[in-house]
Amino acid sequence: MDFTFSEEHNMLRDMVRKFTANEIKPLAAKIDKEHKVPRELINKAAELGLLGLPFPEKYGGAGMGEIGYCIMLEELSRGCASTAVTIGAHISLCSTAIYLDGTEEQKQKYLVPLAQGKMLGAFGLTEPQAGSDAAAIETTAVRDGDYFVINGSKIWITNGDIADVIVLFAVTDKALRAHGGVTAFIIETKTKGFSVGKIEEKMGIRGSSTAELIFQDMRVPKENVLGQFGAGFITAMKTLDIARLSLAAGCIGASKELLNLSMDFAKKRKQFGKPIGEFQAVQWMLAEMAAEIYAMESMTYRAAWMCDSNIRFSKESAICKMYCSEALDRIVDKAMQIHGGLGYMADYPIERFYRDARINRIFEGTNEIQRMVIAESLLKGGLY
């Protein structure tokens, strides 16, 4: 078994690490304070080919697959979770859904400009009464000749107010719902009948936009049905399987940055006449952080390899999402403890990492849902 990264993957890591150090980290505190990721920063990422990284070159991508994409999200998350989430929602959710189930015409019309950064994408699934119970969505799409008329609303949509293209899920048969009654659509936000409602204020990832979307008699051409009619729920679940891997990768990147900051601080900070890194209590916290990161890396990149190898990985993706998000919380808590009062201050990055980390156990499927997915897979598959 070969666990080494290819030369191309190592070159990618070096490039994104430099981009993060030079372009993202200097802006991270400002992004958090001003609640906005500059579009210029996203454009710079696009110029490096990052917005289409996992997709084939014929669709404007770099052909780096899920392993390459996880490397990219890991490195971006070392600098700024808000930036990583903005780019991640664009790629993992919107662009990936179109790549998975789009027609060739749809891929050329939408995936290519999305991969090139000429358009920004979002993913419209969550509603006021449909969070973990995604099948309970109430937004409707009614056929009217060559169009579908969409009415309803979505909440907590990352990139919702800045997106050009949204993959939207709506009920097309109320009797069937998740079992053939939900359909996915590709919509353009310039379409009449689309509007943005409330922009949320959040505890963490403040720089990423989180918006309410409103649809009032919005007419979408039938050509914009994504995937099979009535199979939207399947499209959503396949997309989320992949998105959860990149979320796990983001947790790895944040954890590595926290460990580095903690090690540096432990060497420099002196108490009782010596560096605090010489105290066993601090050493054990650092060791536990390193062990968590080793486990996170091992499971996430194995699952990414499964994805790239076309091996079913739904259970593994759920495990990665659940474990890595909870491990990050343990790691950031230890980093806060090592830094003491300094870590609690807003002018030091530990405080921002602490706030940003908490959302990972909630979005892209709560960890309670991940446990259900894992257990169902185990019980259906027999002995482990």
Active-site residue set: 364
How is residue 302 written in tokens?
């194995």
Full 3-state SS string of the chain: CCCCCCHHHHHHHHHHHHHHHHHHHHHHHHHHHHCCCCHHHHHHHHHCCHHHCCCCHHHCCCCCHHHHHHHHHHHHHCCCHHHHHHHHHHHHHHHHHHHHHCCHHHHHHHHHHHHHCCCCEEEECCECCECCCHHHCCCEEEEECCEEEEEEEEEEEECCCCCCEEEEEEECCCCCHHHCCEEEEEEECCCCCEEEEEECCCCCCCCCCEEEEEEEEEEEEHHHEECCCCEHHHHHHHHHHHHHHHHHHHHHHHHHHHHHHHHHHHHHCEECCEEHHHCHHHHHHHHHHHHHHHHHHHHHHHHHHHHHCCCCCHHHHHHHHHHHHHHHHHHHHHHHHHHHHHHHCCCCHHHHHHHHHHHHHCCCCCHHHHHHHHHHHHHHHCCC
Nearest to 83 by CA among 156, 23, 165: 23
Q: Phi and psi at residue 103, in whole multiples of 5°?
A: -75, 170
Full 3-state SS string of 49-95: CHHHCCCCHHHCCCCCHHHHHHHHHHHHHCCCHHHHHHHHHHHHHHH
Place of tokens 């921002």: 352
Q: Please give the Cα distance from 384 to 369 (Å, whole number).
A: 20
